[in-house]
Structure 1
């Protein structure tokens, strides 16, 4: 099992309804301090702190108190602060959990502030704002577009003498190519692919190709009824492990960071990722890795979707809304700020910013940008935000898939077990 978390993941949210405190407008002649919180790694933190310096230089009457931590710690702290009425003024939000924060009245409706120009979105495609909307109101501004992807190593394909799959390749094609790579380079310790053990991407994608969703529209249960779907999904990966094509858990279980993946060390040609991860994984590998869409289903639907990798929200517990709005607008539209941040959270939503970065950030950014443009033409709208119980569902799925990968259970039994445990989790709630 991979031990590192995707950028877009988060933990359990509080379900207690707390009233938002009133905010006061910032006076122009007074100094204001706002707290801004985000999750990230060391590179993200360093870049964000530089952006804050640019912001404070532009708005000398606003001081920023940064609060940053690892992804695994972020939501625990936000939950605690929400319960104590002490949320930061601006917080980084995740699509999976925005619905629960809105339900508990923690987030400011930003709709009127995009209309009056406090936050400029005039050159933003309306579709890029959808991830921040709940019930038609805008509660968060997308930081960067992201999409499921297959990262691959062109050098390893060349070394094996195997052609790189072209967009439109199928699940069968993926297994065939992975097998060819393993047969050619297996004696050098190269595997054809890594097995999948995370419910955030591949299985929802698999369902979307069949016109289904992981959760129902109400967020009260699973969105598919036929357990053979999950059984077939589990069987696909288990068969590749049995054949020695996919790396076994004994190889992958020690991976604790994306920069330590097999693809980084030239030991696997593929890695399923979120598109914004391509840059820093490529940098860790010391070579330009490329992006492919996920495999297609003949006669199926487009399974891909665009997701905000992260979003900015102003909280109702803030007393400095004017300053909060200035930060969100600055981060979204300032060219120097975006160049400094370097698209760490995906492709920025401002088209002016996109073009500014395209000629300045180099080939890795262009690879990511071009991939997002492809996905926008070959995708369907994102599924509704995950229900509050989703973190439990993810853990259940991961534990069961580990058993599948270790060959400790059959795909059929695993699929039934997942449904049984998921239904219990839904009844118990978050």
Structure 2
């Protein structure tokens, strides 16, 4: 339940937004110079789509209920899928011109969808329906492609290494103290050996393109450059995938078959692995998936490729966008503003979507121990944080998924490293030249 002080702050923000919405006149076919408008008495239905799990779905349901307290005439129908399935469905909808009104959106697809005319230009709504004061300029700029705002950053996160203290105690192994990627592999092996066959130290980290990017950034390179060219060659990718051979072939990492058996959950939140390299906002979902016997996680910096390198960066963990074909852009903008900026959103979501990007939402977020841990973690890696990479190329999401699929095949042993490299470069050639 909201405190009285919080409720007053919420009411003040909502009242301000209502004045802006009610004080305009017109519709979605206004001239470009006219202020966007919304009739609060009009009954509107919006479709909202996001990726996540049952935990996140529950949080969105709470947020929608709070939104409806201020906008009772806007009905929000929400749906969610796992990350890969979410984008498969969006691609199908995009082809048919029927994307959801409001979408949780990944940075890797922003250029692709905006350049294809699938996303609404949000600039006319900034400063009125969508509040900008709580969002620092560098945060607002994250959603800009070719000088046009297409997405509003919900939250930020960073790449990190989660560990499971309960499993480490069972294995009789101390927390990973940091070091090189080889050091991390050796540590995973110690955990696997100490588990008595019950669980593994981790999985093959070479199946994630983000770990490859991390190594490239430590070498002063980008995964993809501003002009869309790759920052690596076949030899470098071969080296990366071959570095995972001991994890795959020596029994250090969890077998892929075991991963498939627990899907759609992952190995880490099924207590089958004691570590996982991923974005730091995944912690809440992991704890929920692990259950009541697990009350805390470790969160430390990823292995180091080169000491002193600025290999890490703050990423928009997600954005919110609006379909270019929405019939209710003003109502959709009001929903986006609420999900990003409202005190309720900060209080409800905490860091489930990453640390809130909006100062208003962050101030309202009552951080639980894990959320505070994420905030402290991002402060601890300040010396490793560099500039964010270029806005992902068109088709990046397709390449990220291809990388993941090839990583799965490498773990199954159904493809060689050389064949995987050839397949990835063939896919990349198609994507970069389409």
- TM-score band, normalised by the shorter chain? 0.7 to 0.9
Number of the residue aligned with 1:310: 318
- In 2 relative to 1, CA 163–75 (structure 1 residues): closer, same or farther, beyond 3 Å? closer
Q: Is the 8 A contact 1:237 1:405 kept in 2?
A: no
Deviation string 1:135-184 (CA, Å, 9 cap, x unpaired) is 23321111121222211012333444433234x5221321232232233x
Instruction: Answer whether contact 1:278 1:290 (CA < 8 A) is retained.
Output: no
Number of equivalenced pairs:
398
User: What is the aligned counterpart of 2:231 among 223, 229, 233?
Assistant: 223
Report the equivalent of 1:251.
258
User: 2:184 aligned with 1:174, yes or no?
Assistant: yes
Aligned residue runs from structure 1 range 261-300, under 5 A = 261-262=267-268, 264-265=270-271, 267-285=272-290, 286-299=294-307
Name the residue aligned to 1:142: 153
1:250 and 1:367, CA in 2 relative to 1: closer, same or farther beyond 3 A? same
Deviation string 1:93-149 (CA, Å, 9 cap, x unpaired) is 2211111222122323333533x3432232333333343121233211111212222
Contact 2:308–2:384 (CA under 8 A) maintained in structure 1: no
Distance 2:70 2:368 in 1: 27
Partner secondary structure for residue 354 of structure 1? helix
- Aligned to 2:371, which of 365, 371, 377? 365
Q: Residue 139 of structure 2 is aligned with which of 128, 132, 138?
A: 128
- 1:13 match: none
Q: Is 1:356–2:364 an aligned residue pair?
A: yes
Q: Is the 8 A contact 1:87 1:315 kept in 2?
A: yes
TM superposition shift of 1:208: 1.7
Distance 1:351 1:390 in 2: 30
* Aligned counterparts of 1:176 and 1:85: Cα–Cα separation in 2: 50
Match of 1:209 among 213, 218, 227: 218
Q: Which residue pairs with 1:378 in the alignment?
A: 384
Choose from 235, 238, 259 the match for 2:242. Answer: 235
1:237 and 1:199 mapped to 2: Cα distance?
Answer: 11
**Conservation of the 8 A alpha-carbon contact between 1:335 and 1:356:** yes
Per-residue CA distance 1:165-221 (angstroms, 9 max, x = gap): 34x5221321232232233x14243322211364442222222222223334333x5
**C-alpha displacement of 1:397:** 2.9
Residues 263 and 345 of structure 1: CA distance in aligned 2, closer, same or farther (over 3 Å): closer
8 Å contact kept, 1:217–1:223: no
- Give the aligned CA root-mean-square deviation in angstroms: 2.9
2:101 is equivalent to residue 63 of structure 1: no
SS in 1 for 2:356: coil
Q: Structure 2 CA distance, aligned partners of 1:415 and 1:402?
A: 11
- Equivalent residue, structure 1, for 2:123: 111
Tell me, what secondary structure is at the counterpart of 1:35?
strand
Runs (5+) with no aligned partner, structure 2 = 1-26, 31-35
**Paired residues of 2:143 and 2:150 also in contact (CA < 8 A):** yes
TM-score by length of 1: 0.81
Structure 1 contact 23–319 (Cα < 8 Å) conserved = no
Q: Helix, strand or coil for the counterpart of 2:348? A: helix
Note closer, same or farther for the CA distance 1:35–1:76 as it changes in structure 2 (3 Å cut): farther
Structure 1 runs not aligned, ≥5 long: 1-20
Q: Distance in 1 between matches of 2:332 and 2:352?
A: 21
| 1:18 corresponds to | none
Structure 1 residues 85, 180: closer, same or farther in 2, change over 3 A?
closer
Q: Which residue of 1 aligns with 2:9?
A: none
